[in-house]
């Protein structure tokens, strides 16, 4: 369905800048709103009431800013409003006017992008509870793993170059390192439990780990990045998004080697299995 109104939203930690456009690109409202569930919901309701817009006529578009998107996502899910979370680079490259930059202008550019390219929109889908929890435990594991590696690097360098420093560092880090390792194991066990309890997760991870070079942690990263493959319409769509599909580069008699597009969004792959 084609929407007649679009709200472009530029998101930051404490506030969001909003620009409301009609189908003829007329600016109806430009407003700054606190980045909280209640304030965002109240703003959207006010827009719908003021301009007599039906829920199905409205499309909200924003860039992916990670955790700062959550209040907007929750508000849109609760109100059943169409939300399009787009990659920032696509919006930037599609813009016809890049003169000047501030949050207000960015919101307007996002709204214009939403109206112009809404036939290509990918509506936001909330991840299942299992995938959400898997993502958080993976975040815990990766953060603790980085801390463990940093400590071990210090110990290794001190051991080869300063024996006295090594003794003090080892004594000081011993309890912390033991606790970090145990916390990593706990996070991994939580992930294993989630996978074991969800048949769909378990089947997809088992299938992926049959591919040479794909271990369990890589499979889990893939599940999280693709929302357990529900964010993509086909294998070709996913391959293009992940950056493994080559495109032609030809102009007149000049024919270059096919290359993957820089517009691709590489799926995060873990180096630590």
Report the pLDDT averaged over residues 151-162: 94
Residue-level pLDDT at 21: 96
Cβ-based neighbour number of residue 33 at 10 Å? 18
Look at 268 and 86; give whichever has higher pLDDT: 86
Candidates 73, 122, 82; CA nearest to 231 is: 122
Who wins on pLDDT, 214 or 34?
34
Pick the range with the lowest mean pLDDT from 66-75, 155-164, 243-252: 243-252
Domain borders along the chain are 5-120, 129-225
pLDDT of residue 269: 45
Reply yes or no on whether the pLDDT at 162 is more than 50. yes
| Residue 264 banded pLDDT, cuts 50, 70, 90 | low
As a whole number of angstroms, the longest Cα–Cα distance in the chain is 75
pLDDT in tens, 210-260: 999 889 989 999 899 888 988 777 787 777 766 677 767 777 777 777 766
Q: Rg of the chain's alpha carbons, rounded to an integer?
A: 23
pLDDT tens track for 99-149 = 667 889 999 999 999 999 998 888 998 888 999 999 999 999 999 999 999
Closest to 11 (Cα-Cα) out of 145, 110, 95: 110
Residue 262 has pLDDT above 80, yes or no: no
Bridge-based pairing of strands 5-11 and 58-63 is parallel
Sheet holding 58-63, edge to edge: 27-34, 15-22, 5-11, 58-63, 82-86
Q: Which of 50-54, 95-99, 189-193 has the lowest mean pLDDT?
A: 95-99
Q: Which of 33-47, 66-80, 229-243 has the lowest mean pLDDT?
A: 229-243
- Give the per-residue pLDDT at 79: 95
Does 3.30.420.10 match the CATH number of domain 5-120? yes
> Which of these ranges, 76-85, 222-231, 261-270, has the smallest mean pLDDT?
261-270
């Amino acid at each position: 369905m084609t929407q007649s109104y679009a709200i472009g939203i530029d998101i930051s930690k404490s506030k969001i800048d909003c620009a409301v456009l009609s189908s003829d690109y007329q600016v109806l409202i430009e407003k700054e709103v606190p980045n909280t569930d209640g304030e965002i919901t109240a703003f959207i309701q006010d827009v719908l009431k003021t301009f007599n817009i039906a829920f199905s006529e409205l499309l909200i578009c924003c860039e992916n800013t990670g955790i700062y998107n959550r209040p907007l996502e929750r508000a849109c899910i609760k109100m059943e409003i169409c939300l399009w979370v787009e990659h920032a680079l696509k919006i930037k490259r599609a813009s016809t006017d890049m003169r000047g930059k501030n949050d207000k202008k960015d919101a307007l550019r996002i709204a214009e992008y939403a109206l112009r390219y809404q036939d290509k929109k990918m509506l936001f889908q909330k991840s299942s509870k299992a995938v959400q929890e898997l993502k958080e435990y993976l975040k815990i594991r990766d953060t603790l793993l980085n801390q463990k590696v940093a400590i071990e690097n210090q110990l290794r360098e001190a051991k080869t170059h300063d024996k006295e420093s090594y003794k003090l560092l080892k004594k000081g880090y011993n309890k912390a390192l033991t606790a970090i390792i145990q916390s990593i194991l706990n996070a991994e066990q939580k992930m294993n439990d989630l996978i074991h309890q969800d048949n769909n997760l378990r089947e997809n991870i088992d299938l992926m780990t049959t591919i040479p070079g794909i271990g369990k942690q890589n499979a889990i990263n893939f599940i999280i990045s693709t929302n357990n493959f529900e964010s993509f319409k086909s294998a070709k769509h996913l391959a293009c998004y992940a950056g493994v599909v080559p495109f032609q580069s030809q102009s007149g008699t000049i024919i270059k080697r096919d290359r993957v597009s820089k517009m691709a969004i590489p799926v995060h792959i873990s180096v630590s299995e």
